[in-house]
Amino acid sequence: MATLEVKDLRIRYNRSGPEILKGLSFNVEQEDFFAIIGPSGAGKSTLIRCINRLVEPNSGDVILNGRNITKVGRRGLRKARRNMGMIFQEFNLVERMSVMDNVLSGRLGYIGNFRSFLRFYPRADIQRALELLDEVGLSDFVDKRADELSGGQRQRVGIARALIQQPQILLVDEPTSSLDPKIAREVMGMIKQMSEEAGVPVLCNIHDVQLALEFSNKVIGLQDGFKKFEGPTKKVDKATLDEIYAMEIL
């Protein structure tokens, strides 16, 4: 059984508006690093956000390890989101909180807001946060505020926060768009290495095609909400890219 099954996913933001996703279906297996590529406006970020219901799909199914995420209520969704680590384009950190507290916020789905407000985290969570910060090279930044960090450092905090959830899948939304090329490659390498070590598949929306091809083993190509390509990265050639990006306005 696939870790993630997406079946005929459709969304429009209002009844009279255009359909953003048009019947997308695909599976993510346990060993996958899946890259989502396509022109601006193709629906890449919407797809990522539909999977954990930050955006509500109009129809279709999102099934994570046998559980249909689109059918659960609010309490069920809260529990389901524990299993979906999210790495955001704009980092989504609490700027005035310390690096350590930002990482530990990944455990909110387990301990609740009141205990987190009191900073009453289990010792095991604190130890794991320290280990993750060491792995992302930020062990000397534990007490620094998030707003004191560079963009690359902030994204490393985001990686640690997502992995401390012990997720069943990592959803990654444009992780390198605000980073320079060198740091972008380092961040992608870190996501790939740490997800492999944790045994967690990745579904990554990324605008940089070269990075997508370098770090993924499978690719989905979107164009205007339709799936134009799905398959192994090694099968993505110039003709494939020309077809995916045929409608891009330069």
What does the pLDDT profile of the chain (250 residues) look like in tens digits? Answer: 799 999 999 999 887 888 999 999 999 999 999 999 999 989 999 999 999 999 999 999 999 999 999 999 988 998 899 999 999 888 889 899 999 999 998 988 777 665 555 667 889 999 999 999 999 999 999 999 999 999 999 999 999 999 999 999 999 999 998 889 999 999 999 999 999 999 999 999 999 999 999 999 999 999 999 999 999 999 999 999 999 998 665 4
Beta sheet of 19-28, edge-to-edge order: 19-28, 4-12, 59-64, 67-68
Q: For helices 151-163 and 181-198, give the axis angle rounded to 10 degrees.
A: 10
Question: Among residues 28, 24, 53, which one has the least CA distance to residue 38?
Answer: 24
Tokens coding 80? 């389901």
Q: Which of 221-247 are b and which e, b meaning 16 or more Cβ less than 10 Å from the residue's Cβ?
A: bbbbbebbbbeebeebeeebbeebbee
Identify residue 177 by its one-letter amino acid code. Answer: S
Helix and strand element counts for the chain (H, E): 10, 10
CA 122 to each of CA 82, 105, 107, 119: distance values in angstroms, whole numbers, following the listed order: 17, 12, 10, 9
Contacts with 183 (C-beta within 8 Å, 6 or more apart), sequence order? 151, 152, 176
Quote the pLDDT of residue 250.
Answer: 45
Q: How high is the pLDDT of residue 118? A: 60
**Contact between 109 and 79 (Cβ < 8 Å):** yes
- The token pair at 131 is 């280990």
> What whole-number distance in Å separates Cα of residue 48 and Cα of residue 62?
11
For residue 117, the model assigns a pLDDT of: 58
State how far the Cα of 103 lies from the Cα of 109, in Å rounded to an integer.
13
Report d(CA 166, CA 247) in Å as an integer. 39
Report the pLDDT value the prediction gives residue 13, as an integer from 0 to 100: 86
- Distance between terminal CA atoms of the chain? 41
